[in-house]
Amino acid sequence: MARTALSEILRNAGVEEPEAGQLEIRGADPVLPLAYRIGTAGAASLAAVGLAAARLWKLRTGRSQSVSVDTRAAAVSLRSARYLRIDGKAPPPTWNPLSGFYPVRDGGWISIHCNFPNHRDAALAVLGTPAERELAGKASSNWDGEALEDAIHARGGCAGFVRTAGQWRRHAQAQAVSVQPLLEIERIGDAPPEPLPSGNRPLSGVRVLDLTRVLAGPTCARSLAEHGADVLKITAAHLPDSGAVELDTGIGKLSARIDLRTAEGVETLRGLVRDADVFSQSYRPSALAARGFAPEALAALRPGIVCVSLSAWGSTGPWFARRGFDTIVQAVSGIAHASGDGTKPRLLPVSAIDYVSGYLMAFGAMVALERRAREGGSWLVRAGLARTGKWIVDRGLVPAGSFEGLPGDLPDEELRPLLGELDAPDGRIRHLRPVVMLSETPARWSRPPVPLGTHAPVWPARGEFNTDS
């Protein structure tokens, strides 16, 4: 199953199958007590990342290397933050108690995102209640689900009416998503071929600007860092973040703050772009374009740049400009309904859509870097949460009853070797190690996670910390 899924990814990107004997994928679903084949999806997308890194290594050295992925480890990587510990303690929860499912008229449900204060305030303004879940639930039950969904989005919030899979298939946005490619890799400008910077890892010396939030986008940049890229995460003090979870997705990265509401901030980012190789963003399509950082503008500023862009719903359909998150895609697409108990929907205990999207973005970025080195050009890589969700659902379900009785996590003796520890400014950090294994250039992170905004918005010397001793 995972090899078939991997072939779909490679074929979509126009990448050849691995050399004979180069790739091993061990294990199969079910890994956790879930009907969806999340282990298959995780293993296939991680295998694609590993193969792309191996291709870059061969481009550097002429040498092939083998790639291996364990399906069980890949499955738990789809909730990597669950295993984060700071000095032996779990971080405070980032899930706002107001986030979740609310009843709507005629026995339906709606998922309302309240993890960001602006989204919470927008939803409460529509509902006309204070920040009390019981009162908000009473107010939501007087609404038609789709009407409330639309009203919250119109106010600047984020919500998803819970649909069955059949209802979603008939929706105009689902029909648009169904014909979108899983991953778009498009040449958007001319530039001469650009060899990879010198170094002894697949992405040594490659500079990545990470303007992403939550899970999928940060996972992309973290995946690039584990193969040697210099990643500089850019945030702003006035924007909400994901709290301590940022430490899990921030492993391997530098972190700086830039206020793009100011002319000085815009010029600072422009200066970083001129010396960057990859620009990754997960804001709504118009947000950065309004500041002059649309992909075409980036390609004009820095010919040869690889732009990686994540949206919730893709670039087509009536919702193309809407906000969205993994949880919202689960709600609208039938996943939450199918995962429920018949009376109330339920989210998956893994953020499979987010993490798989992040792995696909990293894969696409490396494919584009290889094409830049071979043929030149500036490149745009686009992924969408809803399209990733469809791809996961399209893997099919595990046989009925085959996952019943499975434990909710890997046994301690199996999980323990997958975990690592390192010292960071916030304490001793326990984290999930990289899952994809390469024979010559083992995946690893060279920097500990730091609080957001720790560093100045300045590039280090290329590959300064990302070399093997």
* Residues that are catalytic: 354
Q: Which residues contact 85 (CB under 8 A, 6 or more apart)?
A: 91, 429, 430
Distance set, CA 382 to CA 182, 273, 299, 365 (Å): 9, 19, 15, 10
Length of the chain: 469
Q: HSE on the CB side for 274, CA within 13 Å?
A: 7
Q: What share of the chain is helix, strand, coil (3-state, %, to 5)?
A: 40, 15, 45
**Which positions ≥6 away from 270 have C-beta within 8 Å?**
292, 301
Task: Look at residues 210, 223, 206, 362 and name the one whose alpha carbon lies nearest to residue 275.
Answer: 206
Tokens of 19: 């050399």
Report yes or no: 331 and 162 within 8 Å, Cβ to Cβ.
yes
Contacts of 342 (CB under 8 A, 6+ apart): none
Cβ–Cβ contacts within 10 Å for residue 182, how many? 19
Order of strands, edge to edge, in the sheet holding 427-432?
A: 85-86, 427-432, 419-424
DSSP calls for 19-80? PTT-EEEE--S-SSS-SB-HHHHHHHHHHHHHHHHHHHHHHHHS----EEEEHHHHHHHTTG
Give me the residue label for tokens 């070797």: 417
H helices of 155-228, in order, are 165-169, 172-178, 216-225
Cα 369 versus chain centre, distance? 19
Distance CA 403, CA 329 (A): 24
Find, among 361, 350, 324, the residue nearest to 177 by Cα: 324
Tokens 């999207």 belong to residue: 357
Rg (C-alpha) for the chain, rounded Å, is 21
The long-range contacts involving 179-182, CB below 8 angstroms and separated by at least 24 positions, are 179/316, 180/314, 180/315, 180/316, 180/384, 180/387, 181/12, 181/387, 182/8, 182/9, 182/12, 182/360, 182/383, 182/387, 182/388, 182/391
Q: For residue 24, which amino acid is it?
A: E
